[in-house]
Chain A
Amino acid sequence: MLRKLRRGAALGAVLLAGLAALALPLTRPERAPADAMAGLEGDATRGARIFDAAGCAGCHMAPNAPDGEPQARLRLSGGQEFASPFGTFRAPNISPDPEEGIGRWSALDLYNALHFGTSPEGRHYYPAFPYTTYVNASRQDVADLYAYLMTLPADATPSRPHEVAFPFNIRAGLGLWKALFLRPGWVVTGALSPEQTRGRYLAEALGHCGECHTPRNALGGLRRDAWLAGAPIPGGRGHFPNITPARLDWSEADLIEYFTSGFTPEYDSAGGHMALVVRNLALLPREDRAALAAYLQAVAPVPEAPS
């Protein structure tokens, strides 16, 4: 019996070592070739639309930035906290401050962050930063976003570290996570109208609806088979609602109004983080809000999110 146990343990150790050796290359942060952004001219005006569609301000503006001041959401000092089963994440400063923000970044640095979740120093970002969505963003959009971000006010507030417990504080593990869950490509496929296709880009490359509305597996990966089927709010009470056509029976006009003013068909209003999302969406051209509404009608109906 004892011998059997020992043999089991030895076998386990060998297996683990083998796995680690196999996995080692996977733990390295990936980057684009040095010329990936070469020749792309960024347009700050177009970038403003990308910024609003991608919802950067929702997470990176200061906690409790005053509602009444439209400029407050453009000061990207970071500091908002996001609870998760793995710990509390704090949005960093992404203002153009050269010391505390991203003022020294190149457009390529931004591309590597958005596309691979890799920092300019070659570290993994945690996927609280929704690069699993941004991986689908076009290079031109990243160039435009970069041009816009650099026009925003610099803020010298230092970024605060995340509070993540062992073993999730070992960032090498994120390489494995990315190997499992970070890949470009669309969730909603099939015959889409041009409007729905635009909506899909807004939702799956920029707007990251799925990050909250899609349930996650035990490792925190999105359950793409239950896309937008709703999920519990981490660290809080309540649920992010199921917004597949199985549960969300709002008309396109209802959805557009919600994305514009935050009013539901019952004239309740958006609360929670969705209030910030609506603030961003309201700044987009009306056709983008209509495209998002059209996209939601094309999502596969999932009556119940798997638990």
Chain B
Amino acid sequence: MRSKPTIRSTIGAAILAAATVAPALPLSAQEPDFKPQITARKALMQLYAFNIGQLGAMAKGSAPYDAAAAAAAANNIATLARLDDSAMWPAGSDNFSTEGTRAMPELWDDMADLRQKGMALAEAADAMAAVAGNGLDALRAAMGPLGGTCSACHKAYREPR
């Protein structure tokens, strides 16, 4: 039994943390630079992409199916989905307020929805982890639902290019 999913579930805590820190900052920091947070969340997305890429290459037939490698990649994705990344998403680190991100301000508007989308990702990742080692057909069937949970968040909260 895994611990309860926490991904993106504590944006509220991040806002609180930001509010606590803000008064201590000097005046020069009125326009906070969120570069570390934005770099970190892009790195997190890269980790997802790399591991999903291992599965995708097999699903597409551009790499031979390897049960152990598929299971490892899928387990990594399930682990990532449970990472507490709340500190990477401070309020104000959206694409209207700062540079270098496509995260839309709406991401901070509906915590319940964000939490639900995070849970859906964790569940789809678990479903993939449960079957990725059981053959190519099972892996292929789990790709769509997993991709759907990525897109759900990107559709709602990421500005198109």
Name A's B-contacting residues (CB within 8 A): 67-68, 233, 236-241, 253-254, 256-257, 260-263, 266-273, 275-276, 278-279, 282
A residues within 8 A CB of B152? 67, 275
* B115 interface contact, C-beta 8 A: no
Report if A238-B161 is in contact (Cβ < 8 Å); known contacts: A269-B154, A270-B151.
yes
Structural contact, A262 and B56, CB atoms closer than 8 A: no
B49 located at the interface, meaning its Cβ lies under 8 Å from any Cβ of chain A in the complex: yes
Complex: how many Å from CA A67 to CA B118? Answer: 12
Q: How far is the CB of B52 from chain A (nearest CB, A)?
A: 5
By size class, the interface of chain B is: 20 to 34
Q: Counting CB contacts under 8 A, is B146 at the interface? A: yes
Where the two chains meet, the residues of B that have a C-beta atom closer than 8 Å to any C-beta of A are 45, 48-50, 52-53, 56, 59-62, 116-117, 120, 143-144, 146-152, 154-155, 158-161
Residues of A within 8 A of B147 (CB): 260-263, 269-270, 278
Give the residue of A67, A260, A273 whose beta carbon is less than 8 angstroms from that of B144. Answer: A260
User: For residue A241, which residues in chain B have a CB less than 8 angstroms away from its CB?
Assistant: 161
CA distance A282 to B141 in the complex (A): 11
B143 touches A260 (CB 8 A): yes
Q: Name the residue on A nearest B61 (C-beta).
A: A253
Contacts A67-B120, A68-B116, A241-B161; A257 near B56 (Cβ below 8 A): yes
Whether B116 lies near A267 (C-beta < 8 A) is no
Q: List 23 A-B contacts (CB under 8 A).
A: A67-B117, A67-B120, A68-B116, A236-B159, A237-B160, A254-B60, A256-B60, A260-B143, A261-B56, A261-B144, A261-B146, A261-B147, A267-B48, A267-B52, A267-B56, A269-B151, A270-B155, A271-B155, A271-B158, A272-B154, A275-B151, A276-B155, A279-B148
Alpha-carbon gap, A279 to B151, bound state (A) = 9
- A67 x B60 contact (CB < 8 A): no
A67 to B147, CA, bound (A): 12
